[in-house]
Structure 1
């Protein structure tokens, strides 16, 4: 009888122990993370500041390439969408920027990667995001979330009746036939808040046991595709149609998937 009781007791302990181990594994496997890299390029070349790039008869030399990425979401193989909370990220390669009439200087920065944390463990097939800042925050800069801030030189007071965010900015010089002009191509305004949808070449499994990676190409040349930058070297809200064309380029042409793993 004592022997039978001992066997039963040991069995209960083993079952309880296994159950606890299973619970731990289950808890560990509920969330993972992924790093998304926006690898800047100009056509087939790696993007860099203060370097000449040729496109047709024009030569470009850039001092900044900056844009807001917001509303990031991953779509699993069942078509279910997981939205990353507070996903407002400033991707950029820029020299130092004078802010608030020179009262503050935003330092030279290169940032091409963001980390998505707390992603449910699953198989994912698509990434979605928008370029710019949605109207809730664009119309009221006193509201802040994610990386939104007025101290990075990505706001403009002249586009709307109140200060609003600059969604994207490309700056530098463009030269054609020996004549150089300052270049500043910016997008903004709520109507130009555009979405990007990119399918992965293969299923991406996000797990708690590995750091998943998504590499996207961000092609600066595609941002100005179809725009006569010699005739229009400065694009802002005063050139609404061109600004919208550039915003559409960001939505449909600039970003492609290089790899996922």
Structure 2
């Protein structure tokens, strides 16, 4: 009788061990979902406040920023297996405006369910899209015009609009500044950004990940290149950088101002 009990216990232990060691059934990932990109504007680590906040640059210039807008375009998501999903081009143009809270979150719909590890996007409207002409821009042309993110159709889109007033060691009374990037006679000034995620974004039908991206506006002036507004104030009436040799340098800076803070999988 004892032998039968021992044999039964042995069979039970063996069965339990085999069950524990057997591979877990893998999750079936299929269908589509929504993924959100949240753009959080800051200045050297502080949340950006328009109009009143005194922002000190690395060049010791003090900015009060009144406008911070930029165009996000051509979003590409990289899966953990290395393959990519390119968001449909005719839907892939967005304006992020610090003054409009609803614009800070971009909802990408009908994204294939997968685990994503990287996001890339453009800053501005790529030249291929602009070459389609006004009729080829869809609804985005009217949106850009309403948001003052175009000069004119022939002059093209403003990719970044960064405005306010400034003081410095040589500028005692506040003077206005405007930095607008976009196409010029010699440079198109479109740039791209690629960001690794700190954790996977799990797109599912019932899960909408949100990638929280910090945009540090201080880097517009101080990053790969150092741009001093007081050096771009030839007439003593303000710094207006909307063309010339400094604009490609600012475009290089803009490419460095984005970083991923975290990912929510809710």
Shorter-chain TM-score bucket reads 0.7 to 0.9
- Shift of the 188–84 alpha-carbon distance from structure 1 to 2, 3 Å rule, reads same
Equivalent residue, structure 2, for 1:102: none
CA positional deviation for 1:153: 0.9
In the TM superposition, residue 236 of structure 1 has moved relative to its aligned partner by 1.1
Contact 2:130-2:137 at 8 Å conserved across structures: no
Instruction: Note the C-alpha offset of 1:146.
Output: 5.8
Does 1:185 pair with 2:179?
Answer: yes
Which one of 143, 155, 160 corresponds to residue 168 of structure 1? 160
In structure 2, the residue matched to 1:211 is: 208
TM-score by length of 2: 0.76
Q: Segments of 4+ in structure 1 off by > 6 A? A: none
Count of paired positions:
216
Q: Aligned residue for 1:153?
A: 148
Max Rg structure: 2
CA distance in 2, matches of 1:29, 1:148: 35
Unaligned runs of 5+ in 1: 1-25, 95-108
Normalising by the residue count of structure 1, what TM-score does the alignment of the two structures yield? 0.77
2:251 to 247, 252, 256: 247
**Which runs of 5 or more residues in structure 2 are unaligned?**
1-27, 233-238
Deviates more, 1:132-141 or 1:213-222: 132-141
Q: Matched residues in 2 for 1:197 and 1:30: separation?
A: 26
More strand by share: 1
The reply to whether residue 54 of structure 1 matches residue 60 of structure 2 is no
Would you say the 8 A contact 1:219–1:254 is kept in 2?
A: yes
Pairwise CA distance, 1:136: 3.0
Offset at residue 29 of structure 1 (A): 3.9
Contact 2:168 2:230 (8 Å CA) reproduced: yes
